[in-house]
Amino acid sequence: MRVLALDTTTAGGSVALVDDADLIAERCGDPSRPHAERLPAEILALVASAGATIGSIDLFAVACGPGSFTGLRIGIATMQGLAFVGDRPMAAVSALEALAQIGGIDARPATFVGAWMDAHRREVFSALYRVAGAQPFEPERLAEIEAAAVGDPVATIARWGRDVDYATAIFIGDGATLYAEVIRRAAGADARIVDAPPLAATIGRLAAARARQGAMMKPSAIRPLYVRRPDAEIARARQNS
């Protein structure tokens, strides 16, 4: 199954072409330019460089969040448009799950993997997983212990400490790197902290695995995983209260 995958949860993001579990091509975007200026040109350029066409894509996959509200909307809308044109299904993948899959790729079963993304405002988007016995990138590879949330990194690490053995835990993501000292104060100086890699290839592999189990969606069914309420919504609520 040929999967075209896009991640716009960060300023740069990435796009990848995957054939089942095999990576054909992956590129990172230019973080100095907004996604609206770069898409769909970056997608089309990658597909062409791989000798493929949009018509040859079987499944379109997109990171559904969390992340920048604008980036998520643009990324999802772009992939929805391409899928609609080709009458193809889609898959939505959490960026936090993709990070955790990468962080736990060589980990032993029962290892905890914490995914942290920089949510700005001195907060992190976070999710906690435990590695299971399935193969990497299979949906059953990770058991979700705490769903996607947003909050203060100190409060997050303290909450997790009630259940997590930090001696073997893995932390991954730009939020984990940014707040490495917070993690090390709780987990020790030797805490395993992994920087954020490009996510599109992993999103494509996860989508292919889900598709093999029949977990595909119509483009119109894709919804963003915001976690945090948009500022405009918060402002309206304050005005109406």
Under the banding of pLDDT at 50, 70 and 90, the label for residue 50 is very high
What distance lies between CA 5 and its chain's CA centroid? 11
Residue 3's CB: how many other CB atoms inside 10 A? Answer: 26
Residue with tokens 């054939």: 19
Q: Which helix (H) or strand (E) holds 62?
A: strand 59-65
Q: What is the pLDDT of residue 21?
A: 84
Residue 9 near residue 68 (C-beta atoms within 8 A): yes
Residue 157 near residue 166 (C-beta atoms within 8 A): no
What is the mean pLDDT of the segment spanning 69-89? Answer: 96
Measured CA distances, 80 to 7, 14, 132, 223 (Å): 13, 17, 32, 11
> 177 or 162, which is more confident?
177
Domains with residue ranges and CATH for the chain: 2-95+198-240 (3.30.420.40), 96-194 (3.30.420.40)
What is the mean pLDDT of the segment spanning 63-67? Answer: 97
DSSP 32: T
Sheet holding 90-94, edge to edge: 22-28, 14-19, 2-7, 59-65, 90-94
Contacts of 213 (CB under 8 A, 6+ apart): 139
The tokens of 15 are what? 């796009």
Confidence check: pLDDT of 237 > 90? no
DSSP output for 97-142: HHHHHHHTTTPPTT-EEEEEEEEETTEEEEEEEEE-SSPTTSGGGE
Residue 76 near residue 106 (C-beta atoms within 8 A): no
Q: What is the pLDDT of residue 210?
A: 94
What is the mean pLDDT of the segment spanning 218-233? Answer: 83
What is the mean pLDDT of the segment spanning 159-171? Answer: 92
Dist CA 91 CA 207 (whole Å): 6
pLDDT digits over 110-145, tens only? 999 999 999 999 999 999 999 998 999 998 999 999
What is residue 216's three-state secondary structure? Answer: coil
Instruction: Kindly tell me the sign of the dihedral angle through the C-alpha atoms of 144, 148, 154, 159.
Output: negative
Cα atoms in the Cβ-side hemisphere of radius 13 Å centred on 241 = 6
Under the banding of pLDDT at 50, 70 and 90, the label for residue 96 is very high
Q: What is the pLDDT of residue 151?
A: 97
Under the banding of pLDDT at 50, 70 and 90, the label for residue 233 is low
- DSSP β-ladder status, 170-172 and 112-120: parallel
| Length in residues, the chain | 241
Q: What is the pLDDT of residue 238?
A: 53
What is residue 33's three-state secondary structure? Answer: coil
pLDDT digits over 20-32, tens only? 889 999 999 999 9
DSSP 220: G
What is the mean pLDDT of the segment spanning 224-229? Answer: 88
Confidence check: pLDDT of 235 > 70? no
